Amino acid sequence: MQTLESYVVGRWHAGTGAPALLKNPTTGADVAACDTGGVDFAAVARHGREVGGPALRALTFAERGGRLKALSAALHEHREELIELATVNGGNTRGDAKFDIDGATGTLAAYAHVSKSLGDRPYLLDGAGTQLGRTRRFWGQHVYVPRRGVAVHVNAFNFPAWGTFEKAACAWLAGVPVISKPATATALVAWRCAQITVESGLLPEGALQFVCGSTGDLLEHLGAQDALAFTGSARTGEWMRGHANLVKHNVRVNIEADSINAAVLAPDVDAESDTYGLFLANVALDVTQKAGQKCTAARRVFVPAERLQEVLADLASEIGRATLGDPAERGVRLGPVAHEAQLADVRAGMARLSEVADVHMGGPAPVRDGCFVAPTLFVARDARAPVLHELEVFGPAATVIPYSGAAPEAAELVNLGGGGLVTSVYSNDADWTETFVLEVAPWHGRVWIGSDRMAEQSLPPGMVLPGMIHGGPGRAGGGEELGAERGLAFYMQRVALQGFQGLIESRFGKRPAE
């Protein structure tokens, strides 16, 4: 069996402890093993700070962007191989695997593009300068400079490629070295990506260290200039946020956690419209893509009560089009969930939902050997039952919840989720939409507005785009990533410079060309 090594302190390291096993969720076969026993995590953090950091900071933004672009191309060359690994270790269909891998290369390329507008000075301006004294002589300017620490990235199992590089692209472009840790159960793709990255020689030594398995005592060695960006369950996120060493040193922590996302159909949308077609297609995509294991997937689908039966029938027919089966077979659109523990979790979650909702299609019963779950639609009996708004079933399932059709009620129900990554709304009524959006906006990182006017060009709400922020308040973790240049701020220190205008502007302010 293949052993997945970690890349730390300039070399590949095979663990010396008891290895964790990675499996094929379709067949149950062992795929690989990994372990980080024997890794000196204090040395790993030091190596990033002392070797990777200075080397990255010696490059301009544009030079770092150039490396990102070349890395995107290097990974893309291995696209077919990576797709195969994602099928074997993650149960991804070809489409699911492409979503992850192309997401990684696309985000690297997008940040390469962002770099072109960042100038060639070792800092970024934050807004315009401002007069502080009686005259312009005493002047102020906010700038961002790269922090001198390491960025520890801990990722979830569902996006081993995209998760790794959407975080790393921002840190590297900001000039900060990365220690990246994928979720163990699906680490194969991330490991191969790390290997390609190291072998490409595109990044300076120390810019990427890769931890395949437990992070040991790494968090104990983080300090005031370091950052931790985590994606995963709310439970692990809560533990990390409260970690004594991180609290003591005010280590920057960004949490992307689970979210009970919503899709809302407004009462004005008629069955013949493009908007209705978009609604059906997007909800069905969220249930079936990556077997529903997308942090942005709509878990609650709000439908005007008088349309309930019609919408249920249409949704079931749309979802039913996705063939479930061996993800390696062409034409299969719904593979297994990623691993055994995940399967048990999904089944337990469905059982809890069954206490407050009826099964309209699918359900938790086994459909075939392996980690397969039937695509499932629940119908809520009580729109306010807490479990609907608090439990994320991270699999191919959603609950349809009838409501009156009033925008304030829809918003109130959506907000019972306690903070989400994305809410999608489908309406051609601008007044209804405005009322709804302004009520849900404080509780969400992203609000996606579907209508006839954009249907033809739209990308689905489940897709995270590098130019827009990703994250959300409350139970979504309270974090924020991406958003073009905004994504760099987490890795940089904003500092207010105050002094003589001539000095501030010439050395730290407007660029000479401006």
Question: Annotated active-site positions, please?
Answer: 256, 295
- Write the CA distances from 445 to 157, 244, 283, integer angstroms: 22, 28, 19
Residues in the chain: 514
Asked if 295 touches ligand NAP (CB under 6 A), the answer is: yes
Minimum distance from residue 477 beta carbon to ligand NAP (Å) = 6
Whichever of 217 and 382 has its CB closer to ligand NAP, that residue is: 217
Sole binder of ligand NAP in the list 233, 273, 435, 493 (CB under 6 A): 233
Asked if 422 touches ligand NAP (CB under 6 A), the answer is: no
Asked if 474 touches ligand NAP (CB under 6 A), the answer is: no
Minimum distance from residue 132 beta carbon to ligand NAP (Å) = 40
Minimum distance from residue 330 beta carbon to ligand NAP (Å) = 27
Sole binder of ligand NAP in the list 114, 156, 229, 346 (CB under 6 A): 156
Whichever of 213 and 267 has its CB closer to ligand NAP, that residue is: 213
Give the whole-angstrom CA distance, residue 419 versus residue 244.
26
367: left (phi over 0), alpha (psi -120 to 50) or beta: alpha
Sole binder of ligand NAP in the list 72, 92, 197, 231 (CB under 6 A): 231
Give the whole-angstrom CA distance, residue 117 versus residue 485.
9
Which range of residues in 228-236, 261-269, 347-355, 366-374 is near ligand NAP by CB under 6 A?
A: 228-236
Give the whole-angstrom CA distance, residue 203 versus residue 414.
43
Asked if 392 touches ligand NAP (CB under 6 A), the answer is: yes
Any idea which residue has 């010396």 for tokens?
A: 16
Residue 453 makes CB contacts below 8 A (sequence gap 6+) with 428
Asked if 154 touches ligand NAP (CB under 6 A), the answer is: yes
Asked if 155 touches ligand NAP (CB under 6 A), the answer is: yes
Whichever of 74 and 228 has its CB closer to ligand NAP, that residue is: 228
Beta strand 227-231 pairing with 252-256: parallel
Whichever of 124 and 154 has its CB closer to ligand NAP, that residue is: 154
Are the C-beta atoms of residues 95 and 243 closer than 8 Å to each other?
A: no
Which range of residues in 41-49, 105-113, 177-185, 374-382 is near ligand NAP by CB under 6 A?
A: 177-185
Residue 392 makes CB contacts below 8 A (sequence gap 6+) with 258, 259, 260, 299, 349
Scanning 303-355, the segments in alpha helix (DSSP H) are 308-320, 340-354
Give the whole-angstrom CA distance, residue 108 versus residue 187.
20
Q: What element of type H or E holds 418? A: none
Give the whole-angstrom CA distance, residue 127 versus residue 470.
22
Whichever of 264 and 421 has its CB closer to ligand NAP, that residue is: 421
Please give the DSSP secondary-structure letter assigned to residue 50: I
Sole binder of ligand NAP in the list 72, 141, 158, 451 (CB under 6 A): 158
Minimum distance from residue 504 beta carbon to ligand NAP (Å) = 38
Per CB under 6 A, residues contacting ligand NAP are 154-158, 181, 183-185, 214-215, 231-233, 236, 256-258, 295, 392, 394, 421, 477
